[in-house]
Amino acid sequence: MSWVIVAVVASYLIGSIPTALIVGRIVGGVDIRQHGSGNAGATNIYRLYGMKPYLLTLSIDVFKGFVAVAFLSKLSFGVIWNPQTIELICGAAVIAGHIWTLFAGFRGGKGVATAAGVLIGILPVVALIAVSIYLFITLTTGYVSLGSILAALSTPLSMYFLHGGNPPEVFIVLVALAVLIVFTHRSNIIRLLKGEEVKTNFLK
């Protein structure tokens, strides 16, 4: 059990690395939560500083999620638990760390990129479908938030059609994750309904 705790804590801590805040400080010398959309995420980095800082931030945030499930979960090697269960717990911890980062007053990003990394490590085909939906919606509408929400909602549906919703614990986690992503985008949803959401053109 102690090694499971180590794996979970390590996952939370790596999730807590505030990538966008660090990049914002290095590139612009500012706290990006006080500029642009106010979100400590890769999209805000793009709006403020362009494609290269955005890709760096996005890649690191995705990598955090992947590392948690593919490597940190293995710190609990030898524990008589279902390995996939430990991966799910570590995945939840790394996403929580990204959203409620220990190193920045518990104000982090919205969890989408890190959740994508978790999915890549656990269910790569489901992750591919979600990323495809995200890219299609974002590039055609310009609404990153809408692409993120629909991609998140697609994950339990994809797993259900591909795997019959089995194992059930993974399906339940995907449903919970989709709800969490919708929750972190609640202000975006309000702006979308009012027609006030800011568009992001990645193709310019």
| DSSP of 22-81 | HHHHHHHSS-GGGSTTS--SHHHHHHHH-HHHHHHHHHHHHHHHHHHHHTGGGGGTT-SS
Residue 94 has pLDDT above 90, yes or no: yes
List the structure tokens of 187.
């202000």
Q: Over 70: is that where the pLDDT of 30 sits?
A: yes
Determine contact, residues 22/98, Cβ cutoff 8 Å.
no
Alpha-carbon distance values, 38 to 48, 116, 156 (Å): 11, 22, 29
Closest CA to 128 of 157, 94, 99, 151: 151
Percent of the chain with pLDDT over 70: 97
Above 80 in pLDDT, residue 68?
yes
- Nearest 5 degrees, angle CA 58-CA 198-CA 62? 10
Mean pLDDT of the chain: 93
pLDDT higher than 70, residue 105: yes
Distances from the Cα of 44 to the Cαs of 32, 53, 124, 167, in angstroms? 7, 10, 26, 36
Q: Residue 141 and residue 107: Cα distance in Å, rounded?
A: 28
Banded model confidence at residue 37, pLDDT cuts 50, 70, 90: confident
Closest CA to 58 of 203, 202, 204: 202
Q: How far apart, in whole angstroms, are the C-alpha atoms of residue 100 and residue 155? A: 22
Interval 29-51 mean pLDDT: 92
Considering the entire predicted model, what is its pTM?
Answer: 0.91
Residue 79 has pLDDT above 80, yes or no: no
